[in-house]
Amino acid sequence: EREKCSLYLKMCVTVIQEDCTTDNGEDSHRISPSPVVHVRGLCEAVVEADLIDALEKFGPICYVMMMPFKRQALVEFSAVESADRCVSCGAKEPVYIAGQQAYFNYSTSKRITRPTNADNPNSGNKVLLLSIQNPLYPITTDVLYTVCNPIGSVLRIVIFKRNGIQAMVEFESVQCAQKAKAALNGADIYAGCCTLKIEYARPTRLNVIKNDNESWDYTKPYLVRRDRGKGRQRQAILGEHPSSYSENGYGPPCPLLPLPGNSRYKLTSVDVPDMVSYPLPQSSSSYSGHAPSSVAMVSGLHPSKMNCTRIFNLFCLYGNIEKVKFMKSVPGTALVEMGDEYAVDRAITHLNSIKVFGKRLNVCVSKQHAVIPSQVFELEDGSSSYKDFAMTRNNRFSSAGQASKNIIQPPSAVLHYYNVPPCISQDHLLRLCTEHDVPGFVKFKMFDAKPSSKTISGLLEFDNKTEAVEVLTVLNHYQIRIPNGSNPYTLKLCFSTSSHL
């Protein structure tokens, strides 16, 4: 885990340093030439293979690191001369990747940091590590097999959950693994979500003892498959998929992004269609790598600044909240019962390891299957250690229509505010931050509203992500009362898709 944290910090530093350069290459002379090139302005549908196709004309490529949510990538060439040709060409004439013009600059890094030593194709590693980002839908062995097997023969799959959802996929050969990494790295399993980030894994072989939704050995079909749970069906994030389920639990297939047209990344034109599709699995209680649970355990909570309501304000962005209970035996720790296990997955993916009030949260799946209001006590701020939110109108996933309006976003420095009365100004919102002892925003934008509109909305930009998280935790669902108004307005906040104003 220490090694993973160190790698993550190095990657973050690299990305921050790259963000300080311009898109048009004007600053390229300020950075010493490097075999690593920072690529910006990529389209959403780009995958690793697209970068290789477009840039290998400049020279052999050693490694590619995708940053799909930033629409950026790092490309490491085998020689500085190749990187120089890429940057120089991009500054003189447009270079297109997947049909969209991209921008290039030297990276401040001389080599892309690999997560393991198994990234060298010559090492004989045929196991890939898949990290599924923004997992709005269930990820099972059936799903991953259907995604990966058309590109290269899959032998074994193991799905596990630590910091989000990850899987290891063992292919028949190193060549198959290379093709799959190039074709799928950066792609969305479902349009707009379940984005794949792929690296070479450390193990060279997977050990599977059971064939089920979390693990499967395709060379041993006789392994016992665990029956699907018969328990209570929980509401999915967006309700049913737009294509209704059929009697066998699967609806018409959901499209993936097109695979690269280059035949290098396909088995044959007959074996692999231009568009891969597969059914959306029905909600299953055996989906989780643990015993399935809709309860998250949150530790690292500030003893005096966090309470049940503030936990609700933050976690409700990723699913309905049923109950919140602080644990008397473990200070700074709370159990959060959410609407279903997939909401817990999203909370882990986006909130684990973020800092709130100077303390780093640890979010994981709890062994408990429900929150029971026992041993209720008073928190440092005087509020109760237990609160039931099942009936609150502030839950945002109570119906399919309501849930479809939510954009699942990781924490960012920009907050989207809405449901605010038109009489509230920028100064009012700044004063609200001051009164509640939270950081003020540095930029403000109000969206144009219809003359007949009863509420307004806009964006608030803060100095950093941590400040935005703290403001949302404190002020989300704040009751704004106006003179002569019969009912208060509930201020609603969420993380914006914009990175800055």
pLDDT of residue 15 exceeding 70, the answer is no
Fold classification of 31-114 (topology level): Alpha-Beta Plaits (3.30.70)
Select from 265, 243, 126, 261 the least CA-distant residue to 190. 243
Q: Is the pLDDT score of 20 beyond 70?
A: no
Q: What residues are paired with 474 via a beta bridge? A: none
Which pairs count as long-range contacts for 474-481, CB under 8 Å and 24+ apart, including other chains? 474/310, 474/313, 474/436, 474/438, 475/313, 475/432, 475/433, 475/436, 475/438, 476/313, 476/314, 476/316, 477/309, 477/312, 477/313, 477/394, 478/432, 478/436, 480/420, 480/421, 480/424
CA–CA distances in Å: residue 8 to residues 38, 353, 467: 17, 11, 21
Domain 409-495 has CATH 1.10.1740.10: no
Between residues 270 and 442, the one the model is more confident about: 442
Mean pLDDT of 38-42: 90
**pLDDT score at 375:** 84
CB within 8 Å of 67: residues ≥ 6 apart: 15, 73, 74
The string of pLDDT tens digits covering residues 191-219 is: 778 888 888 888 888 988 888 888 999 88
| Pair 339, 399: CB distance under 8 Å | no
The structural domains of the chain, with segments of one domain joined by +, span: 31-114, 127-217, 295-398, 409-495
Is the domain defined by 127-217 classed in CATH 3.30.70.330?
Answer: yes
Task: Tell me what the mean pLDDT of segment 112-132 comes to.
Answer: 69
Q: How far is CA 276 from CA 129, 190, 346, in A?
A: 21, 11, 25
Q: Which residue has the tokens 């990966």?
A: 148
> Measured on CA atoms in the order 112, 114, 117, 118, is the torsion positive or negative?
negative
* Model confidence at 124: pLDDT above 70: no
Of 62-66, 111-115, 269-273, minimum mean pLDDT range = 269-273
**Shared fold status for 31-114 and 295-398:** yes
CATH 3.90.226.10 holds for 295-398: no
Within 8 A by CB and 6+ apart from 423, the residues are 482
Query: Helix or strand or coil: residue 232?
Result: coil
- 59-73, 192-206, 265-279, 433-447: least confident range: 265-279
Q: Is 386 exposed, middle or buried (0-12, 13-18, 19+ CB in 10 A)?
A: buried
* Strand blocks (E) in 60-192: 61-67, 72-77, 95-97, 100-106, 127-133, 154-162, 164-171, 188-190
Q: Give pLDDT, residue 226.
A: 45
Q: What is the DSSP letter of 28?
A: G
Do 89 and 95 touch, CB atoms closer than 8 A? yes
Residue carrying the six token digits 């989000």: 164
Provide the pLDDT confidence category of residue 237 given band limits of 50, 70 and 90: very low
